[in-house]
């Protein structure tokens, strides 16, 4: 038995060595392609075990990893399946998660089951989600109690308000703001007893807006930065005659730029979710390490595709992500911007 094992082992080794010879010529790198964001420090590293964690505080809870599943879907049949998969992952691996827009719940409970994910998440941070236009509408009609009830019904830890003026403008059936989002948020915060955060949906936020948000009693800010899924672009694909509006798709701020702006501002006790265009672990790791304030790495679309397939596909994706994140933490130091 032992001999057979040794034999198959040596056959495997020989095969590997032969494939190394074949692949070596295809595996050349050049100095130009180096990722110069990091110092690579192999001397202090051991491969992460399956139980290794990166405990991170967020919304008064300790997450096992600094990862946030950014607000996505709701209001469709498929949403219940996707949300169940996402929230089960968040519960099992102690992550945080944002619901997609809970607007349907302001009017009726018909779609409540798509949003009731608390039972899959334990007490992990969960944020309900509403567009700024609906918050404005509720304020102007003195119906903010509908929002408070919605947060209660979803058993959320708080509310994420999404700020999306360009998306609304390009959306054929989009809402129009009659007061500024800053005014809406200020008025809403006068009458609220749970944590409130604000995010964009793919354009990011400029320095003046960040500064104004930092001056408010918000719990935190999610970037929703430029460089990933962009809802202004998405609406322009749905709309007709967008020639005049189309150039607006390309304005905004990357997560990298927003980290630089925030690091130069007094942020107080706010918490952040760095999201929008975080396409791989190294992007997220670099920005989390650069931001001087407490932050999670948030992703939406990268989680969506495996979550649509099955829980197993999602878990498999997450386990690879987790291992890569812990490997980055063990091996790489982020260089200072020059
Ligand atoms: C299918 C889908 C639905 C989304 N729905 C919402 C939503 O209802 N509310 C919201 O604030 N953001 C929503 N977003 C935006 C994301 O939260 C995130 O800000 C944006 O996708 C950028 O992240 P990404 O580049 O990792 O995808 C949605 C994104 C996707 C892909």
Q: What is the residue with the minimal CA distance to atom 5 of ligand 1?
A: 72
300 lines ligand 1 (CB under 6 A): yes
Nearest atom in ligand 1 to 278's CA: 26
Residue of 114, 115, 300, 321 best suited for mutating to test ligand 1, as the one with most atoms within 8 Å of CB? 300
Of 189, 127, 136, 191, nearest in space to 164 by CA: 136
Residues sharing a CB contact under 8 Å with residue 147, sequence separation 6 or more, in sequence order: 106, 130, 134, 135, 138, 159, 188
Confidence of residue 238 (pLDDT cuts 50, 70, 90): confident
Q: Is 301 in the pocket of ligand 1 (CB under 6 A)?
A: yes
Residue 314 CB contacts under 8 Å (≥ 6 apart), including other chains = 85, 86, 89, 303, 306, 307
Is 228 touching ligand 1 by the criterion CB < 6 Å? yes
Q: How many CB atoms lie within 10 A of CB 203?
A: 26
Predicted local distance difference test score (pLDDT) of residue 12: 85
Mutate to test the pocket of ligand 1, among 67, 68, 69, 71 (most ligand atoms within 8 A of CB): 71
Looking at residue 197, its pLDDT comes to 98
Say what the pLDDT of residue 245 is: 87
- pLDDT for residue 37: 95
Average the pLDDT over 210-238 and give the result.
94
Domain ranges in the chain are 60-334
Measured from the CB, is residue 229 less than 6 Å from ligand 1?
Answer: yes
Pick the closest to residue 194 from 125, 263, 256, 246 (CA basis): 125
Q: What's the CA-to-centroid distance between 62 and ligand 1, angstroms? A: 24
Across the chain, what does the average pLDDT equal? 93
**Beta-carbon neighbour count of residue 153 at 10 Å?**
15
Q: Which of 304, 309, 306 is nearest to 319 (CA)?
A: 306
| C-beta of 88 in contact with ligand 1 (< 6 A) | no
The pTM for the full model equals 0.94
Please provide the CATH number assigned to the domain covering 60-334: 3.20.20.70
């Amino acid at each position: 038995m032992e001999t057979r094992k040794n034999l198959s082992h040596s056959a495997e080794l020989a095969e590997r060595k032969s494939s190394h010879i074949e692949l070596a010529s295809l595996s050349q790198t050049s100095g130009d392609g180096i990722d110069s964001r990091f110092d690579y420090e192999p001397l202090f590293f051991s491969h992460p075990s399956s139980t290794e964690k990166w405990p991170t505080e967020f919304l008064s809870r300790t997450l096992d990893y600094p990862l946030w599943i950014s607000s996505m879907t709701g209001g469709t049949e498929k949403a219940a399946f996707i949300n169940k998969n996402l929230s089960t992952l968040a519960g099992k691996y102690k992550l945080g998660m944002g619901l997609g827009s809970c607007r349907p719940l302001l009017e009726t409970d018909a779609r409540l089951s798509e949003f009731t994910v608390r039972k899959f998440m334990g007490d992990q941070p969960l944020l309900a989600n509403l567009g700024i236009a609906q918050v404005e509408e509720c304020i102007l009609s003195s119906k903010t109690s509908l929002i408070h009830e919605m947060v209660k019904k979803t058993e959320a830890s708080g509310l994420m308000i999404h700020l999306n003026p360009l998306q609304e403008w390009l959306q054929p059936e989009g809402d129009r703001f009659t007061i500024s989002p800053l005014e809406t948020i200020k008025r809403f915060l006068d009458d609220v007893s749970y944590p409130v955060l604000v995010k964009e949906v793919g354009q990011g936020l400029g320095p003046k807006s960040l500064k104004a948000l930092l001056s408010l009693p918000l719990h935190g800010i999610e970037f929703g930065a430029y460089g990933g899924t962009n809802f202004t672009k998405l609406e322009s694909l749905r709309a007709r005659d967008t020639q005049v509006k189309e150039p607006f798709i390309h304005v905004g701020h990357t997560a990298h730029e927003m980290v630089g702006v925030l690091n130069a501002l007094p942020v107080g006790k706010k918490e952040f979710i760095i999201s929008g265009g975080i396409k791989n672990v190294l992007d997220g790791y670099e920005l989390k390490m650069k931001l001087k304030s407490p932050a999670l790495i948030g992703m939406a679309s990268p989680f969506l595709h495996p979550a649509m397939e099955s829980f197993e596909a999602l878990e498999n994706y997450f386990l690879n992500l987790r291992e890569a994140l812990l490997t980055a933490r063990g091996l790489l130091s982020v260089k200072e911007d020059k």
